[in-house]
Structure 1
């Protein structure tokens, strides 16, 4: 298993083993080809997500889509935003911990 569902109401899956572009992953029993590489811990869309749609993880909202994503697409900072931490603040926090 390369991606897990953490809660039945989640609209994303969490990747548990690196996925290469072109790999096939089972999503709700369907074989879905993943278009781009996805790292461990990142998310893929469980179903098609529209612009502005709430991203649900652990059964709770964690952010909103800033661009649409098809089923199996990588969901991360390039197409979603946190509804709790401003992106510029998150970037600042990440840089300060790397020093």
Structure 2
């Protein structure tokens, strides 16, 4: 018996041939297997509907493409199938804001 569960067929969407990320069409659970460019990949973490998944391994500094356009830069290594979001991606076109630990001060990533 497999230790992974297959995800729903068609659960990832490729927006443009040039993209190095895919879009989750459904909520995906860690351990679910998906097919990325013909390879079965077990997802290392949960991915919510509409969020990005790495289509290939990304290195820090790699540009992330969605809809054929650069949307940001990988800040750490990102394995194929991993969730791409603010924890490993810095926006190249808008600042990303998070609350400080006290919940009052905003900290932004580098602005263009």
Please confirm whether the aligned pair reaches a TM-score higher than 0.5, indicating the same fold.
yes
1:66 aligns with 2:75: yes
Unpaired runs of 5+ residues, structure 2, are 1-9, 100-112
1:31 aligns with 2:40: yes
Taking structure 2 as the reference length, the TM-score comes to: 0.77
Number of residue pairs the alignment of both structures matches: 90
| CA distance in 2: counterparts of 1:71 and 1:64, whole angstroms | 15
Report the CA distance between 1:68 and its aligned residue: 1.0
Over residues 17-49 of structure 1, what are the superposed CA-to-partner deviations in whole Å (9 max), with x where a residue is unaligned? 111010001101111000101000000000000
Moved runs in structure 1, 4+ residues, more than 6 A? none
Unpaired runs of 5+ residues, structure 1, are 93-99
- Structure number with the higher strand fraction is 2
